[in-house]
Amino acid sequence: MDEKIRLSHGDGGSETHQLIKNVFYKHFNSSSSDAMPDSFVFEAIQGRLAFTTDSFVVKPLFFRGGNIGKLAVCGTVNDLSTAGAIPLYISAGFIIEEGFSIEKLHLVAKSMGDLCNQIGTKIVTGDTKVVENKNADGIFINTSGIGRVSEFYNPRRAEPGDEIIITGGIAEHGTAILIDRYELSVEADLISDCAPMCGLVVGLGSKLRDVKLMKDPTRGGLATALNEIALEQELSIEVMEESIPMKSEVRAVNEILGTDPLYLACEGRMIIVVEKGFEKEVLQCVKTLDYCNQAGIIGQFVSASHTMVYMNTGFGGKRILPLLEDRTLPRIC
């Protein structure tokens, strides 16, 4: 019989200890017997550190291409990557609904541990809380992370002419969630792009000198992320519709549903702003890296009297891409 989470798993007593030992220690410290302390202590290193946090409430918890655990580690690793940082240490805070399957908890924790092993980072501290039935939705996870910032990365203001790269096809995560949440009968071979982007920081190496900023297009998708960049940089952005990588399955599903893939989340993509003149060599390098073989230049910064993001469409027209105003898909991450 599938054992369930009880309130007593969260009261700090012996059942909490057993749960932490049997599930979290098992999957997070596969190669050692180190216990996770309330506070993890480490020797500081020279240089710059990055610190980030994200809470995850994705629905459904398991989706094509991942689950909330994998997503939680990727999300925090990718936030560190936007700062040019390699992940050093990750924390994991769990809020679990009474009655949640312990077997599923194992699957979630295993995904987290496996991914950390894969990218050479570690979950070093954690916390587990349990709330009553109907006071949460299965499981929520917070991951925070500390990373070491590459010596080569010095983010700076964009200027007109600077080029914009996206590392792969857009909207695959958002579309995968849509399909699974509403149990659409789609035969498309489409999974979430959920992936860790830290290989980009390592792989670009000294070429990070030519990168002015990075941003991962998660909630609100590519269009929202570009708007945030444009506002921050006080410049307009022009993108070419036909240069935006998008799988035909993504296009087809979104056409059927009437959703706009430009506003649907990616969870394994990065927007890279490259100093004018260096875009080709940066792109060439990016395309050789994991999860990045579909990378392409999608647009550039332009000066304009009003800060905005617009797209040159395949039909020769211009479409303004506003900051998301309407309610779109909730709980995609």
Using CA atoms, how far apart are residues 64 and 16, in angstroms rounded to an integer?
A: 31
For residue 56, state whether it binds a second copy (rule: CB under 8 A).
yes
Residue 139 near residue 95, CB atoms below 8 Å: yes
Q: Which of 144, 243, 259, 312 binds a second copy (CB under 8 A)?
A: 144
For residue 175, state whether it binds a second copy (rule: CB under 8 A).
no
Give me the phi and psi of 216, to 5 degrees please: -95, 125
Q: Which of 105, 115, 116, 130 binds a second copy (CB under 8 A)?
A: 130
Residues 257-276 that bind a second copy (CB under 8 A): none
Which range, of 146-154, 164-172, 201-209, 279-287, touches a second copy by CB under 8 A? 146-154
Nearest by Cα to 33 from 45, 44, 24: 24
Q: Which of 32, 33, 44, 187 binds a second copy (CB under 8 A)?
A: 44
Using CA atoms, how far apart are residues 260 and 240, in angstroms rounded to an integer?
A: 16
For residue 226, state whether it binds a second copy (rule: CB under 8 A).
no
For residue 220, state whether it binds a second copy (rule: CB under 8 A).
yes
Residues 82-121 that bind a second copy (CB under 8 A): 82-83, 85, 89, 91-95
Shortest Cβ distance from residue 244 to a second copy (Å)?
19
For residue 279, state whether it binds a second copy (rule: CB under 8 A).
no
Residues 177-216 that bind a second copy (CB under 8 A): 215-216
For residue 13, state whether it binds a second copy (rule: CB under 8 A).
yes
Contacts of 144 (CB under 8 A, 6+ apart): 51, 52, 53, 54, 76, 90, 91, 93
Q: Which of 26, 40, 62, 101 binds a second copy (CB under 8 A)?
A: 40
C-beta pairs of 314-321 under 8 Å, 24+ apart in sequence: 314/241, 314/242, 319/241, 321/223, 321/226, 321/227, 321/239, 321/262
For residue 134, state whether it binds a second copy (rule: CB under 8 A).
yes
For residue 43, state whether it binds a second copy (rule: CB under 8 A).
yes
How far the first Cα of the chain sits from its last, in Å, is 30
Evaluate the CA torsion angle 104, 107, 111, 117 in order and state its sign: positive
Contacts of 241 (CB under 8 A, 6+ apart): 311, 312, 313, 314, 319
28 or 249, CB closer to a second copy?
28
13 or 161, CB closer to a second copy?
13
For residue 324, state whether it binds a second copy (rule: CB under 8 A).
yes
Shortest Cβ distance from residue 53 to a second copy (Å)?
4
Which range, of 50-58, 60-68, 113-121, 182-190, touches a second copy by CB under 8 A? 50-58
Is the peptide bond between 60 and the residue preceding it cis, with omega within 30 degrees of 0? Answer: yes
Using CA atoms, how far apart are residues 268 and 231, in angstroms rounded to an integer?
A: 23
212 or 279, CB closer to a second copy?
212
For residue 3, state whether it binds a second copy (rule: CB under 8 A).
no
